Structure 1
Amino acid sequence: MAWRGPTYRMVDGERIDGVWCHIWRRADFGGEYYVDDLVLYADGSVSCGAKDLPGLQKHLDTGRLALTPPDAPDRPDEESEWRSRWGRPRTPESFLLEVADRVEELNGRPTTARRCWDTAERYAREPSEANRELLRAAYLAVPQHLRIFVLGDMDRQDRPLRILLTDVGVHVDGDGPLVTAEMHEAQLEYFRRGEAALAEAERQRAALHADDPVTAGRATITSHQAVYPRGWPAEPDLFVLRNEFPAPISYDDETYPSVLHGYWALSAADPADRARIGEAPSGREAQEVGSGVVRRDGWTGLRLAVMAGLLRAKFTQHPELSAVLLGTEDARISYTGLSDSRFWLDARDDRGRNWVGRLLELVRSELALAQETRGGQGTQDIQGVHITE
């Protein structure tokens, strides 16, 4: 029952992240069980008719949901608790603790495993009896069937913790080794080494990512494809980011009514086709004409550079449009729609490459750099495109 993701749902325009796993669900008619997807979201809501965590517990208690097929054989008992390499069986109680952990993880908060690690490191630094009891509580808070994974060490599993939590002179788990003071010290050193390694990894990460933003950026801005039967609004807004927006641009010694006109015209091999595309009444009509012409040689390898050049021309030659793009600040731009290929669009099925959105972010950064370095000078160039202040 591994958790898989990501998934999400939208609530009042807000994205609620989630994960899912398989579970056995009893049919309403006939009482037979079938495999279903149990989806869990960061706000604690769940699917399969349970709605929330209390509902999930009720469904597990009544048998409406089951963790294993009802006719599955019981796992045989282990001969030795200490030598066993398997975790305890998942029970409804431990599964509910696991679900609560996933909610914490989805919200970016520490899980029981993380809190256990932190408590173990604290005990290794200050090996007092009080800290040992805190470690015991943290270890027991981890879902029982997941305790062997809590350290992420598949050789030792959770044995260092079990040794530390066993008193000197007592056999671990009743049939394990007799604990000595030296064994306790060896396990404390295990956690000290782990803490030192994590500290070094964090130092290296900080050095490698020293230019990362220190504050959260703006939320993603989505550029939707829209239709304006009465014409484009007079006041510039996010719709000006669209490639079909009518903004005449000069590029490669030619003038095009929009980015779409320029893109499809420049894709054509025949100059006559280029002229026809450039004269189309609208950007979408230019796309329709351009889609049926013979493409120039090597167009697939050229199209990204052409689109980048057209977008630079559009926003450097129209200051009012540049102001809208700069107003998105550092937000990720998701360029969606139905009329373009997934190469250009941000598609929901994760196959969209969102190249228009990514190029808009690039041009925005170039505009910001030019704006900063321009200062009192009257003009500046961005990648060979002349800007007039």
Structure 2
Amino acid sequence: MIGERITYRTADGVRIPGTWRHAFIRNGDCYFLTDLFIYADGLINCWDLVTLEEFQEKLRSGWVATSLPDGAEASAHDLAGWKFSEPRTWLTPDLLVAEIRDTIDQLNGRPDSTGRCLAAVDTFLADRTEENRAAARAAFLAIPVSLRRYALGDMDQKDWPLRVLVAGPGGRTYMPHDQRITQESYDNAVAYFEDRARWIAKRSMRVPADGPVTPHAPAVQLYQSCTDKPEAAPGKRGLRNDYPAPIVIGEVSYPSVAHAYWALSVTQPEVRAAIVTAETAYSARKLAAGAPRRAGWEHARTAVMTSLLRAKFDQHPELAEILLATDDATLIYDDMDSGFWGDNAGRGRNWTGRLLELVRSELHARRAGLSGL
């Protein structure tokens, strides 16, 4: 189960999604607690990037350890060191490989062993032949034993209805302590799956209160640009703060949002005046960089920028249309000089992009007659 353990690696410029899980690696006489990184293309990093077949060899050699000898030394690198005393482990090499195969299926959006089992169960319930029951039972037993209890996503019943259904009346489950399945238990299991099917069908037909779920529009990248003069058709360059779209704030006309932002950030009137008349947004930024900031500017700057963006798109309807045309896309704003305002290849906070999305929503609300609420 991947949960929120999401990572990736880059191969030939392609982002390969992955996840990780804990494991022990035996290097020399010491067992190191570390992470196995598992990727969608089937490669596994166990201190070395290997295929699944090569990983199985690592298991056979004991490099990846699923059994831990009493008294062996262990280490969590620079965190801690200890010796095992009466260690107990639950994994076997075969079980670990089976879980990793499931993980690779999940990373690729394919049915894993649980998905294949539930599909076989649906086939059996639609046509209850012993052949179909045997296929469902084989699919169920193909789920790693450590994951079977989670197959139904029901932490009250766990896998009990599955065990009963695939065993059939008079049959035995894979659990040695289970009694032979009675007709009553079997009928209850069938009723469970019938109720489950109705619940799933009802859930799939339910329309969320906020409207049907729609795919995300492709993200829009607002790349760094150097546009010094207004253009007849600026395209997405017109959404950038340094695009020369004059805005009036109070009684002052600023050549661009960037000019206004930097002018309002400084305390000295003479520097502010110089920023207003700077030839480019880059020059305005440079002037502001050497001047004292207003007190508390870092806490107020997002509110200021929001006001400036609202003014820009109110005063330039043609640019507002360009912003509205981005639909509901995530707006990714590049800013080489700021990890606060720019996304910068995922390392920044992308506040400009986020505020543009906010203003876009306000424009849509106004168009829908909802702006006065």
Q: TM-score normalised by the shorter chain: which range applies?
A: 0.7 to 0.9
1:264 is aligned to 2:287:
no
Structure 2 partner of 1:333: 331
Shift of 1:22: 2.4
Structure 1 partner of 2:276: 278
Residues 120-165 of structure 1 show CA distances to partners (whole Å, capped at 9, x for unaligned) of: 3454455432332232122122122211222223333222222223
Distance 2:370 2:197 in 1: 48
Distance 2:371 2:162 in 1: 59
Q: Say if 1:286 and 1:47 are closer, same or farther in 2 by CA, change over 3 A.
A: same
Matched position secondary structure for 2:241: coil
Distance 1:359 1:20 in 2: 34
Structure 2 partner of 1:132: 133
Matches within 5 A, 1:250-329: 250-268=248-266, 271-290=269-288, 292-295=291-294, 300-301=299-300, 303-314=301-312, 325=323, 328=326
Structure 2 partner of 1:169: 170
Unaligned runs of 5+ in 2: 73-83
Shift of 1:38: 1.9
Structure 1 partner of 2:18: 18
Q: How many aligned residue pairs are there? A: 354
Structure 1 partner of 2:6: 6
Residues 181-235 of structure 1 show CA distances to partners (whole Å, capped at 9, x for unaligned) of: 111011111222222223333333x23353432x5632x2333446x6x989989
Q: Say if 1:382 and 1:132 are closer, same or farther in 2 by CA, change over 3 A.
A: closer
Residues 85-136 of structure 1 show CA distances to partners (whole Å, capped at 9, x for unaligned) of: xxxx322222222222222222222222233234334544554323322321
Q: Say if 1:65 and 1:320 are closer, same or farther in 2 by CA, change over 3 A.
A: farther
| Paired AA for residue 162 in structure 2 | L
Matches within 5 A, 1:19-38: 19-27=19-27, 30=28, 32-38=30-36
Structure 2 partner of 1:99: 100
Distance 2:100 2:335 in 1: 36
Q: Say if 1:145 and 1:211 are closer, same or farther in 2 by CA, change over 3 A.
A: closer
Distance 1:98 1:145 in 2: 8
Unaligned runs of 5+ in 1: 77-88, 374-380, 385-389
Percent of aligned pairs with the same residue? Answer: 37
Distance 2:60 2:168 in 1: 37
| Paired AA for residue 18 in structure 1 | G
Structure 2 partner of 1:357: 353
Q: Say if 1:322 and 1:68 are closer, same or farther in 2 by CA, change over 3 A.
A: farther
Distance 2:363 2:168 in 1: 66
Matched position secondary structure for 1:110: coil
Structure 2 partner of 1:148: 149
Moved more, 2-11 or 136-145: 2-11
For the aligned residue pairs, the C-alpha RMSD in angstroms reads 3.9
Matches within 5 A, 1:152-301: 152-172=153-173, 173-204=175-206, 206-213=207-214, 217-218=217-218, 220-225=219-224, 236=234, 240-268=238-266, 271-290=269-288, 292-295=291-294, 300-301=299-300
Structure 1 partner of 2:61: 62
Distance 2:274 2:248 in 1: 17
